[in-house]
Amino acid sequence: EPEVTQTPSHQVTQMGQEVILRCVPISNHLYFYWYRQILGQKVEFLVSFYNNEISEKSEIFDDQFSVERPDGSNFTLKIRSTKLEDSAMYFCASNLAGGGKNIQYFGAGTRLSVL
Amino acid sequence: AQTVTQSQPEMSVQEAETVTLSCTYDTSENNYYLFWYKQPPSRQMILVIRQEAYKQQNATENRFSVNFQKAAKSFSLKISDSQLGDTAMYFCAFMKHDRGGADGLTFGKGTHLIIQP
């Protein structure tokens, strides 16, 4: 069964460094998303992406964040200058969004640790 | 803005029992989707069940069923014949319907369900 793939599973970085989290969505899906989950807290929406542009973003998704679909398969989240509070689990999701389905399928997540 | 409230931080039941997890939400939207996701210790988010607000019939998926009360803005999850593998965090989530897939999910804080042997 097709699945969303995220790499790496765990990323450790120093404060102030740039990180890129990578995702391969399900191949025929049209919408892509990033969410984050700080340890012990609820999952929070960051951004949605469709047709090579941002569709929707939350207040969390400030200028430090950017997303890109650099080729036909990858979808990336870049954090420009990481802060301690960026430490969290980051989930990618994808959605076919047609035919009334509208189901978001999640990857296994990337745990980001900022030291 | 939408809000999702899960009032039970933790629940514990014996294996084979039935358990109900509660979820309420607040929205001014008329058409939307509701979901339950399961997050086991591996922290992967797994879809359990989905409900479309315009459908009055409650969704079921094998041992999982929902009680959707639109007027009360309530969306509870019932797990029948609970199994050890059901131990996980369960998140209730809301998604608007009107913009295709553009909108993100709004999640509740989760209920930690423990199935005791």
Each residue of A2-21: pLDDT tens digit?
789 999 999 999 999 999 99
How far apart (Å, rounded) are the C-alpha atoms in residues B33 and B94?
Answer: 6
- CA-based nearest residue to A35, from B41, B26, B106, B36: B106
Residue A91 contacts residue A109 (beta carbons within 8 Å)? yes
- CA-based nearest residue to B111, from B4, B7, B2: B7
Residue that is written with structure tokens 């996701």 in the block: B37
Looking at residue A63, the DSSP 8-state letter turns out to be: T
**Which of B44, B50, B102 is nearest residue A106 as measured by Cβ atoms?**
B44
Token output for B65: 């069923």
Residue contact B102–A106, C-beta within 8 A: no
How far apart (Å, rounded) are the C-alpha atoms in residues B38 and B18?
Answer: 17
Neighbours of B19 (CB within 10 A): 20
Tens digit of each residue's pLDDT (9 = 90 or more) over A26-59: 988 999 999 999 988 889 999 999 989 999 999 9
- Residue A100 pLDDT > 60: no
**Chain A residues touching B44 at Cβ < 8 A:** 106-109
Closest-CA distance, A110 to chain B, in angstroms, reads: 10
Q: Specify the pLDDT at position B43.
A: 83
Q: Does B60 contact chain A (CB < 8 Å)?
A: no
Report the DSSP pairing between strands B74-79 and B106-107: unpaired
